[in-house]
């Protein structure tokens, strides 16, 4: 019997530092994601969007930084707080908003809604409403990627609450055993619905859960989009090179409630304001861009462009038709192959 192997540390990143031209589009993408979600919040209050709606506002740097570290063929699979991840992976604001509105032009043809955005064309393998379920599904995706020798990696996203689910632990065991090309990305936003991590977990560094199966792990702050891109690059390179999976825990914070119907009585007084002031990923990147000499006028021009795209998404969704009732049972099972 060989002794238990300790997980290797993640290597330093090999990607070059971003200059102004590299950082600017990442900021622009974060601004777009936020504005489209603000538009979704407005549509929700107008009852254009029904059912659940979990906003990603405050966490944009995590998805955008991760996307900057990925190749287009890499797969993403995630939970229900997925609007930002979907757009970062390439789902268009129109397809996303139309899905939220439950329209046939939506990414999932209006049959999925906010929690079930899916877009095969950009390898976005879905949001899922069962907490932790995506870990098992993502492990299956990674299994197929390995056996089809695609060279692609699966990013499997979940929250601090999902890190207590049995499916997550079981998935880690298999993924490590078979050295699958998967990065488990735990977005620790400090709360699972209204329960803080301290109240739900004895060990609050979720990434150390990987050590039990010998998985490479790391925990880092996710408010600086470039830092996320660097550490995610290291994790993805490790998984892509065949060395096996990685678990990264990205510390982040959501500015909005758990969902649109959250009374939000569980935060400490002043906590949200302090976080918005000091840890807002968009403001942090804005400061860095100013350091590169970017002017307020240049940023304003982007905000105006983003406003047009977000409004267009809203109007497109509003004007689209609902799904055809004849399609009620379509897409539940794959068509039988002939």
Q: Residues in the site for ligand TPP, rule: CB under 6 A?
A: 81, 129-131, 158-162, 189, 191-193, 258
Considering the complex, state which of residue 130 and residue 208 has its C-beta at the smaller distance from ligand TPP: 130
Q: Reduced to 3 states, what is the DSSP secondary structure of residue 192?
A: strand
CB of 81 to ligand TPP, least distance (A): 4
Q: Which residues of 267-304 are buried (b: 16+ CB within 10 A; e: fewer)?
A: eeeeebeebeeebbbbebbbebbeeeebeeeebeebee
Query: Residue 58 interacts with Mg ion (CB under 5 A)?
Result: no
Closest by alpha carbon to 196, among 204, 186, 207?
204
Q: Which of 139, 189, 207, 233 binds Mg ion (CB under 5 A)?
A: 189
129 binds, among ligand TPP, Mg ion, none (CB under 5 to 8 A by kind): ligand TPP
* Contact criterion met (CB below 8 Å) for 104 and 320: yes
Query: Residue 257 interacts with Mg ion (CB under 5 A)?
Result: no
Give the count of residues interacting with Mg ion (CB under 5 A). Answer: 4
Considering the complex, state which of residue 191 and residue 316 has its C-beta at the smaller distance from ligand TPP: 191
CB of 107 to Mg ion, least distance (A): 24
130 binds, among ligand TPP, Mg ion, none (CB under 5 to 8 A by kind): ligand TPP
Considering the complex, state which of residue 62 and residue 96 has its C-beta at the smaller distance from ligand TPP: 62
CB of 249 to ligand TPP, least distance (A): 12
Query: Residue 82 interacts with Mg ion (CB under 5 A)?
Result: no
Query: Residue 37 interacts with Mg ion (CB under 5 A)?
Result: no
Query: Residue 65 interacts with Mg ion (CB under 5 A)?
Result: no
Considering the complex, state which of residue 54 and residue 146 has its C-beta at the smaller distance from ligand TPP: 54
Considering the complex, state which of residue 23 and residue 250 has its C-beta at the smaller distance from ligand TPP: 250
The residues with which 247 forms a beta bridge, in sequence order, are 184, 217
CB of 240 to ligand TPP, least distance (A): 26
Which three-class secondary structure string do you get for 247-294?
A: EEEEECCCCCCCCCCCCCCCCCCCHHHHHHHHCCHHHHHHHHHHHCCC
To the nearest 10°, the Cα dihedral for 7, 9, 10, 11? -130
Tokens at 62, concatenated:
């995590």
CB of 132 to ligand TPP, least distance (A): 6
Within 124-202, strands assigned E span: 124-127, 154-159, 182-188, 191-192, 195-196
- Contact set with Mg ion (CB under 5 A): 159-160, 189, 192
């Amino acid at each position: 019997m060989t002794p238990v192997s300790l997980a290797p540390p993640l290597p330093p990143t090999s990607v070059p530092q971003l200059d102004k031209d590299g950082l600017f589009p990442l900021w622009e993408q974060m601004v777009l994601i936020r504005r489209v979600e603000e538009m979704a919040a407005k549509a929700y209050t107008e009852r254009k969007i029904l059912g659940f709606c979990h906003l990603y506002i405050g966490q944009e740097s995590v998805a955008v930084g991760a996307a900057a570290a990925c190749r287009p063929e890499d797969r993403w699979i995630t939970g229900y707080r997925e609007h930002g991840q979907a757009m970062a992976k390439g789902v268009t604001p129109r397809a996303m908003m139309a899905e939220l509105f439950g329209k046939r032009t939506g990414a999932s043809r209006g049959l999925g809604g906010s929690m079930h955005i899916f877009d095969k064309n950009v390898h976005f393998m879905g949001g899922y409403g069962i907490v932790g379920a995506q870990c098992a599904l993502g492990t299956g995706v990674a299994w197929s990627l390995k056996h089809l020798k695609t060279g692609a990696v699966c990013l499997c996203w979940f929250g601090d609450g999902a890190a207590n689910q049995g499916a997550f632990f079981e998935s880690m065991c298999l993924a490590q055993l078979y050295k699958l090309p998967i990065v488990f990305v735990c977005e620790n936003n400090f709360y699972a619905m209204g329960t803080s991590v301290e109240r739900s977990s004895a060990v609050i560094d979720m990434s150390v859960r990987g050590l039990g199966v010998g998985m490479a792990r790391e925990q880092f702050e996710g408010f600086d989009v470039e830092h996320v891109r660097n550490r995610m690059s290291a994790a993805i390179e490790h998984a892509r090179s065949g060395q096996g999976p990685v678990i990264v825990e990205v510390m982040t914070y959501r500015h909005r409630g758990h969902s649109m119907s959250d009374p939000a009585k569980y935060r400490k007084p002043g906590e949200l304001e302090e976080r918005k002031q000091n840890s807002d990923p968009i403001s942090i990147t804005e400061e860095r861009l100013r350091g590169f000499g970017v002017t307020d006028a240049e940023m304003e021009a982007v905000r105006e462009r983003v406003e047009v795209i977000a409004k267009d998404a809203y109007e497109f969704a509003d004007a689209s038709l609902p799904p055809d009732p004849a399609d009620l049972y379509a897409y539940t099972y794959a068509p039988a192959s002939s």
